Structure 1
Amino acid sequence: MDLANVVPWGRSFEEYQTMFELSDDDLNTRILGCGDGPASFNAEATERGYQIISCDPVYQFKAEEIRRRIDDVYPEIMTKMQQGAGDYIWHSLGGVEQLGEARMKAMSRFLSDFDAGCRQGRYVSASLPTLPFADSEFDLALCSHYLFLYSDHVDGAAHLASMRELCRVASEVRVFPVVSLDGKASKHLDSVMTTLSVDGIDVSLQPVSYRFQKGATEMLVAKSV
């Protein structure tokens, strides 16, 4: 991975709760956050006493390197968000500036926790479709804003292989969103769900309360039977 190609953008614990409809019971299980990047989910969850492991290829870099990359790309991301503001629902965040403040707060929280989290084994450098975890090591795996969102960049075979791998390491997998960047259902969604079902995995689309990207109102839930 070349850090120059990474666009860091971190979400908070509260956002994870609403993106994935996480109950107290859910949070009290063994959770894997896959592709968490600079989200503060792990840091905040750990502070609350939960057991979370996050994996992402960006974790191979040092905190200061990630911080510099965040500072480098932040103005560019904010410009794009201003230009595409009509593609989003702003009820909870208020506007682009407030969004930027929320993202920077989450990423700063992540950076302050990163070194300690690495030492404790909570941040693992890894990427789909091959994860360094044992079969059924986790009760729940969460994948935010990677699979399905980037359907034009990640092909169908990679989507299927990634979902199978997540189902291997966790009893239940939740993926949000299931729309691509244009706000329409991913072109890979139906085929992935059909194949997983043939594999004997229980798959369904379930509503979530999180609202930001227009069209993103559901998560994919896959449970090993």
Structure 2
Amino acid sequence: RGSANLQYPFEMPPARNGMQPSLGLQYSSEGGSGWLGEGWNISVPSITLDTRWGVPRYDQSKETETYLLSGSMLSTMDDNGQMGVAHRGEKMNRKADRQFYTRQGGDFSRIIRKGDSPANYYWEVTDKQGVKYIYGGDGAVVKGNVTDASGSTREVIAEWKLKRVEELHGDYIEYVYDIVDEDVRGGLKAKAAYLKEVHAGNAGQEPHTVVLFDGNKVKQVKTNNARYGFLA
């Protein structure tokens, strides 16, 4: 027995050089509950931590997290110049501006993780046409507090939402999110980021298109979990 899937793309005018947001409403009968209801979602590209091997450790000096770019695992060069991922083999030292690679052939995007710790990372992805994608940064991350083995608590980032797309001529698309602490049973709070606005425009000009999403009228029935080490 298969799943039921529906897709309703949003019609939006393109920028001067043809760039336009690719947004739509998706439904999957296997999608679970979310901010738009049971099975419904607006999909926006993001980079997330891969939790299939357990809760991330967020070690401050060693690479202990594995990343997914829109669901595709990313790998990087280890300290010996060999391709690897954090959950396998000897742990790599953390470093600023580390380059990552998709594991799919034919993708020539340049993927750079900026920053120097799990508390301040953000990402720049440049495709072979020179279009730059910024993931994360202020107002575009899901972050929370974790406690390490020594008992110290610190804030870390687990999801980086697509924040800006900019092509060579300066035409751009910006994504604005509502970052919230949701009430959970027992007085706990869960971290979440919901799409709030999308702006599209030409270089040096105010956006010619603005799309608003009013989440205040949505009844929040959402499944939360602690796979990142904090509720999200």
TM-score (normalised: structure 1): 0.29
Q: Tell me which structure has the larger Cα radius of gyration.
A: 2
More helix by share: 1
With CA pairs under 8 Å and 6+ residues apart, which has the higher RCO, 1 or 2?
1
TM superposition score normalised by structure 2: 0.28
Greater share of residues in strand: 2
